[in-house]
Each structure stands twice: as structure tokens, then as C-alpha cells.
């Protein structure tokens, strides 16, 4: 009755995968579904962009996670514009059509 089972983390197939091969895929190869990063880019890439509440709802993330993901996009070279909504509505975020180099810190040169 003292049957000792091996720990799942030792026999789990996912733990046997080489480092760097788990997660971080740009697309789920079995279903063709987009990743959450791709979904964030799509939502921010629309004509009017999106506010934090909409991004929370669509992605199922907390507000701090949405802001952190947008920071990651900025570091990847996306120019994310921030605009106050009319009549006191929440701030809307939008990816501009131009992509800047990551070395520029996500800031376009002033015109």
C-alpha cells in the first residue's frame, strides 16, 4: 500500500522538449489559430485602435498584462500611439502604419 508514484514533472512529455521549443510559437501549427500577441496586434492595428477595457475583454488579460504586452510590442519596433478618447472616454491605443526600428526606442522622429 505504500505505492510511490513518480512525480509528473519528471515524466511529463513537455518537460522532455528541448529548451526554447516550448511556447513562443507565432502560430499553433495544429489548428492554425493566432497567438495572443498576434491578436493584440490585430486589435491595436484597427482604424480606431482599442482601449484597455476592450483588450482585457478580448484577450482575457488583466490591465497590467495588457500594458506589459504593449511595452513588448514597442520594444519589437511597433509605434503605439496613445490618444485620449472624446468626451472623457478612456485612452485608446493604436499601432500606426509605420514600424520603427527597435534601436529608436519606439519613438518616431519629430517632423
Delimit the domains of the chain by residue range.
Answer: 34-96
| pLDDT above 70: residue 111 | no
| pLDDT above 60: residue 17 | no
The kind and range of the H/E element at 10 are: helix 8-11
Q: Are 8 and 16 in contact (CB under 8 A)?
A: no
DSSP assignments along 75-97, one per residue: HTTEEEEEEPPGGGPPPEEEEEE
- pLDDT tens, residue by residue, 24-52: 444 555 566 789 999 999 999 999 899 99
Query: What pLDDT is attached to residue 19?
Result: 47
DSSP assignments along 11-72, one per residue: H-GGGGSPTT-SS--SB-TTT-PBPHHHHHHHHHTSTT-EEHHHHHHHHT--HHHHHHHHHH
35: CB partners within 8 A, 6+ apart: 25, 26, 27, 28
- What is the value of pTM for the model shown? 0.59
Sign of CA dihedral 52, 36, 15, 17: negative
Query: What pLDDT is attached to residue 34?
Result: 83
Highest average pLDDT, of 13-17, 54-58, 107-111, comes from 54-58
Query: What pLDDT is attached to residue 103?
Result: 53
- pLDDT tens, residue by residue, 63-101: 999 999 999 999 999 999 999 978 888 999 999 865 655
Q: Is domain 34-96 classified as CATH 1.10.10.10?
A: yes
Amino acid at each position: 500500500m505504500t505505492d510511490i508514484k513518480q512525480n509528473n514533472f519528471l515524466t511529463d512529455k513537455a518537460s522532455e522538449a528541448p529548451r526554447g521549443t516550448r511556447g513562443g510559437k507565432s502560430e499553433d501549427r495544429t489548428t492554425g489559430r493566432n497567438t495572443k500577441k498576434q491578436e493584440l496586434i490585430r486589435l491595436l492595428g484597427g482604424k480606431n485602435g482599442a482601449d484597455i477595457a476592450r483588450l482585457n475583454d478580448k484577450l482575457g488579460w488583466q490591465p497590467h498584462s495588457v500594458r506589459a504586452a504593449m511595452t513588448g510590442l514597442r520594444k519589437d519596433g511597433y509605434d503605439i500611439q496613445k490618444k485620449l478618447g472624446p468626451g472623457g472616454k478612456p485612452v485608446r491605443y493604436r499601432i500606426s502604419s509605420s514600424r520603427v526600428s527597435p534601436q529608436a526606442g519606439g519613438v518616431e522622429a519629430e517632423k
